[in-house]
Amino acid sequence: MSPIIQRLTRHHASAYRALMLEAYRLHADAFTSTVSERETLPMGWWERRLDSGPDPDEVVFAAVEGEKLLGVAGLSVQRRSKARHKSTLFGMYVPLAHRGRGIGEQLVRAVLAYAQAQPQLLLVQLTVTEGNSGAQGLYARLGFKTFGVEPLAVAVGQGFVAKVHMWHALSKADAPR
């Protein structure tokens, strides 16, 4: 059975929270948030992130089989007038047990399709931990281009990791040239 890619709603908050806490715990170098920071947030915070209103600041997509989330990826939209043409892919995570099935690609494609449908958006940006060649390769195959590397981006344990910044232009017929 193939997973269904769908936008999450408040109904999924508990499962989404559990999956992301796993991600923060197992892949501390990939996320700027820590388990301890996020596990103390009230359930209302997770529910607001999944608000299905008509003009949300954030949306999260998941690969779903039955009631189980097999992976997630979100999109945050800028609201400030000078930056409202930009959005950020965030919280991409597919547990090891579900990798190699194309779920990550499906999730990124869902995020890009949603972004493309937002008339004000011209690009999607993201960061990926330097050295995570699998994720960086996936993003590159889907049209993301590197525009810089941020050294000392995230403190992990006693050290730091760098983040590769990437962006993807959304094809808009009326975009400025």
* Domain membership flag for residue 174: no
For residue 154, how far is the Cα from the chain centroid?
A: 17
Over range 154-161, report the average pLDDT. 96
Query: What local confidence, expressed as pLDDT, does residue 173 receive?
Result: 53
For residue range 128-154, list pLDDT tens digits in order: 999 999 999 999 999 999 999 999 999
Q: Domain span at residue 10?
A: 4-169
* Domain membership flag for residue 102: yes
* Domain membership flag for residue 84: yes
For residue range 115-128, list pLDDT tens digits in order: 999 999 999 999 99
* Domain membership flag for residue 106: yes
The CA-based dihedral angle spanning residues 127, 104, 79, 175, taken in that order and rounded to the nearest 10 degrees: 90
Return the CATH number at 68. 3.40.630.30
Q: How many residues does the chain have?
A: 177
CB-based burial, 21-43: b 16+ in 10 Å, e otherwise: eebbeeebbbbebebeebeeeee
Q: How far apart are the first and last CA of the chain?
A: 44
Is the model's pLDDT at 92 over the cut of 70? Answer: yes
Q: How many structural domains does the chain have?
A: 1
Q: What is the pTM of this model?
A: 0.94
Is the four-CA dihedral 172, 174, 176, 177 of positive or negative sign? positive
| Other Cβ atoms closer than 10 A to 105 | 14
Over range 56-74, report the average pLDDT. 96
* Domain membership flag for residue 78: yes
* Domain membership flag for residue 175: no
Question: What pairing do the DSSP bridges indicate for beta strands 4-7 and 58-65?
Answer: antiparallel
* Domain membership flag for residue 177: no
